[in-house]
C-alpha cells in the first residue's frame, strides 16, 4: 500500500487509497465473468472476523453472540440520492458503508462484531471496482472496528448501483444505550467531527462540478487533494470505539450524528423529555455548520455530572429540565428555532454523476 511519488491520484489524508494491484483484469465486468467468478474475486478481500463461527458459502452464516443478544442495524446507499460516482471512488463507497453502519452499532454502546453486504450493480460494472469496494470495506473495518468480519452477502444486477449493509454488535452484558435516558444535570458531549462532512459536501457542490453543474471527477479529485474535509465527506472515520467506551463510562443516552447536531440533539430531548442546552463556545468557529451539518457519524452522548469523559468526548452542553416547556434544543439558553435540519440536497440542481 506504499504510495509511489508518481501516483497521480489525490492524497486525501482521511480516505482509503487504491494501489496498483487493483487494476489487473480491468476489462472484466460483472456480467462478463458472472456472479460466481465475481464473488470469488471479492470474498478473499473481506475480513472473516473474530466472531465468525461459519462464514460465506452456505445458506447462511453463523456469528457469535457472547451475551445472548445481538445489536443489528441496516442502511442503504443508493447512487444518486446518496452518492455520485464522479466524486466517490468504489473504495470510498466500501469505506463509507462500513462507517455509517458501524457508527450505528457503536451508538448503542456495542462492540461491532460482523457485517453482511448486499450489492446491486449495473452489469457493466467492472470487477476491479467491486474489488476496490471490498478493499474499502476491509480497510474501514480494520481501522474502525478491528476484529469485525464480513460474514455474508448477495450480489445482483440492477440499473442503479445500490449498497445494503447490515451490521451487528455485542453489548458485552451491558444495557443498550438508548436515546431516552438523558437526565437534567447530565453533561452533553460529542466525540468526532462536527460539520466537516457538510463542509466537504458544500465544496463539492460548489466546485466539484463542470461548467454545466454536473459532478466532475477531475475537479473533485483536485478539491480533495487541497482540502481534507472533502475526503472526510467521501470516506469519514467516525469514532466507533468511543461508543463502547461511553457505555462503560455510564452514558445515559447516545446516538449517531447522521442529520446534524441540532436535529439529533432534538431526538434525545424528545426521547428523554428534557431540554438539551448546547454551548456555542464549544462548537468551534462555524457554529451554524456544527449545528446543522450531517453525515459526520460522530457520537452524541449524555453523561452523569462528574463522570470523566471517555475517549474523544468533549462537553458541548448540559441537559436541563423542561421547566414547564416542551422538550427542545437551546443554544446558550435561547431557543434554536428553525436552525435545525440539514438537507444535503439544498444546493443541488445538478445531474446524477
Interatomic CA distance for residues 123 and 51, integer angstroms: 33
Span interacting with a copy of itself, options 132-140, 154-162, 312-320, 335-343, rule CB under 8 A: 154-162
Backbone angles phi and psi of 84, in degrees to 5: -120, 130
C-beta closer to a copy of itself: residue 82 or 229: 82
Site residue total, a copy of itself (CB under 8 A): 57
Question: Toward a copy of itself, which CB reaches closer, 176 or 228?
Answer: 176
End-to-end CA distance of the chain: 28
Burial of 273 (0-12, 13-18, 19+ CB in 10 A): middle
Nearer to a copy of itself, 70 or 133 (CB): 70
Least distance in Å: CB of 299 to a copy of itself? 10
| Ordered strands of the 162-170 beta sheet | 149-157, 111-121, 162-170
Q: Within positions 109 to 128, which residues make up the interface with a copy of itself, using CB under 8 A? A: 110, 114, 116-118, 120
Is 147 near a copy of itself (CB under 8 A)? Answer: no
**Distant-in-sequence, close-in-space partners of 288: CB < 8 Å, separation ≥ 6:** 339
How many alpha carbons fall within 13 Å on the CB side of residue 153? 26
Give the contacts of 319 (CB within 8 A, at least 6 positions apart).
182, 183, 184, 185, 186, 187, 188, 272, 274, 275, 276, 277, 302
- Given the rule CB under 8 A, which of 190-198, 251-259, 282-290, 336-344 is the region that contacts a copy of itself? 251-259
- How far is 255 from 226, CA to CA, in rounded Å? 31
Any contact of residue 256 with a copy of itself (CB under 8 A)? yes
Site for a copy of itself (CB under 8 A): which residue of 7, 124, 154, 335? Answer: 154
Q: Return the residue of 145, 182, 223, 255 that touches a copy of itself, per CB under 8 A.
A: 255
Alpha helices for 107-227 (secondary structure H): 127-144, 196-207, 217-226
Nearest distance in Å: CB 77, a copy of itself: 8
Cα–Cα distances in angstroms (integers) from residue 180 to residues 122, 175, 321, in the given order: 42, 13, 14
DSSP for 205-216 reads HHHSB-TTS-B-
Single out the residue of 82, 348, 80, 87 nearest to residue 220, CA to CA. Answer: 87
| Region at 295 (left for phi over 0; alpha for psi -120 to 50; beta for the rest) | left
Q: Give whichever of 117 and 209 is closer to a copy of itself, judged by the CB atom.
A: 117
Residue 179 engages a copy of itself in binding (rule: CB under 8 A)? yes
- What is the per-residue binding string for a copy of itself in 62-101, x denoting contact by CB under 8 A? xxxxxxxxxxxxxxx-x-xxx-------------------
In the bound complex, what is the minimum distance in angstroms from residue 335's beta carbon to a copy of itself?
22
Report CA 239 to chain centroid distance, whole Å.
10
What φ, ψ does residue 246 adopt, rounded to 5°?
-65, -40
Q: Residue 47 Cβ, how far from a copy of itself at the closest point, in Å?
A: 16
By CB under 8 A, residue 159 contacts a copy of itself: yes
What is the nearest approach in angstroms of a copy of itself to the Cβ of residue 225?
Answer: 31
Nearer to a copy of itself, 168 or 342 (CB): 168
Which 10-69 positions form the footprint of a copy of itself (CB under 8 A)?
A: 53-54, 58-69
Cβ nearer to a copy of itself, comparing 18 with 145: 145
Report the residue from 46, 164, 247, 251 that binds a copy of itself according to the rule CB under 8 A: 164
Given the complex with a copy of itself, which of 170 and 202 has the nearer CB atom? 170
Which of these, 187, 181, 184, lies nearest to 317 by C-alpha position? 187
Q: Is 171 in the site for a copy of itself (CB under 8 A)?
A: yes
Q: Which residues neighbour 340 within 8 Å (Cβ) at sequence distance 6 or greater?
A: 260, 262, 263, 266, 291, 292, 329
Pick the closer one to a copy of itself by CB: 50 or 67: 67
Interaction site with a copy of itself (CB under 8 A): 53-54, 58-76, 78, 80-82, 104-105, 107-108, 110, 114, 116-118, 120, 151-154, 156-160, 162, 164, 166-169, 171, 176, 178-179, 254-256
Amino acid at each position: 500500500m506504499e504510495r509511489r511519488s508518481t501516483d497521480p491520484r489525490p492524497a486525501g489524508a482521511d480516505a482509503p487509497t487504491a494501489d496498483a494491484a487493483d487494476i489487473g483484469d480491468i476489462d472484466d465486468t460483472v456480467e462478463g465473468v458472472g456472479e460466481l467468478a465475481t464473488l470469488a474475486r471479492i470474498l478473499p478481500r473481506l475480513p472473516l472476523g473474530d466472531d465468525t463461527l461459519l462464514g460465506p458459502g452456505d445458506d447462511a452464516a453463523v456469528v457469535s453472540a457472547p451475551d445472548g443478544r445481538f445489536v443489528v442495524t441496516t442502511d442503504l446507499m443508493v447512487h444518486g440520492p446518496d452518492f455520485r460516482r464522479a466524486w466517490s471512488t468504489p473504495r470510498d463507497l466500501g469505506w463509507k458503508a462500513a462507517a455509517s453502519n458501524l457508527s450505528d452499532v457503536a451508538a448503542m454502546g456495542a462492540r461491532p462484531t460482523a457485517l453482511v453486504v448486499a450489492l446491486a450493480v449495473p452489469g457493466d460494472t467492472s470487477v476491479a471496482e467491486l474489488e476496490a469496494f471490498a478493499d474499502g470495506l476491509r480497510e474501514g473495518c480494520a481501522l474502525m472496528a478491528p476484529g469485525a468480519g464480513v460474514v455474508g452477502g448477495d450480489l445482483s444486477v440492477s440499473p442503479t448501483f445500490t449498497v445494503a449493509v447490515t451490521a451487528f454488535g455485542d453489548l458485552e452484558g451491558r444495557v443498550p444505550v438508548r436515546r431516552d435516558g438523558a437526565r437534567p444535570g447530565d453533561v452533553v458531549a460529542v466525540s468526532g467531527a462536527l460539520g466537516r462532512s457538510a463542509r466537504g459536501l458544500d465544496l463539492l457542490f460548489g466546485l466539484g462540478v463542470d461548467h454545466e453543474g454536473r459532478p466532475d471527477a477531475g475537479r473533485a479529485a483536485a478539491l480533495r487533494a487541497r482540502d481534507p474535509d472533502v475526503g472526510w465527506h467521501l470516506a469519514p472515520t467516525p469514532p466507533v470505539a468511543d461508543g463502547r467506551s461511553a457505555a462503560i463510562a455510564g452514558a445515559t443516552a447516545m446516538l449517531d450524528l447522521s442529520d446534524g447536531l441540532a436535529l439529533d440533539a432534538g431526538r434525545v430531548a424528545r426521547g428523554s423529555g428534557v431540554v438539551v442546552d448546547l454551548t456555542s463556545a464549544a462548537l468551534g468557529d462555524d457554529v451554524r455548520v456544527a449545528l446543522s451539518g450531517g453525515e459526520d457519524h460522530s457520537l452524541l452522548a449524555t453523561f452523569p455530572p462528574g463522570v470523566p469523559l471517555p475517549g474523544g468526548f468533549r462537553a458541548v452542553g448540559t441537559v436541563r429540565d423542561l421547566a414547564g416547556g416542551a422538550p427542545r434544543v437551546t443554544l446558550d439558553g435561547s431557543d434554536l428555532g428553525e436552525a435545525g435540519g440539514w438537507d444535503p440536497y439544498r444546493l443541488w440542481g445538478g445531474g446524477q454523476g
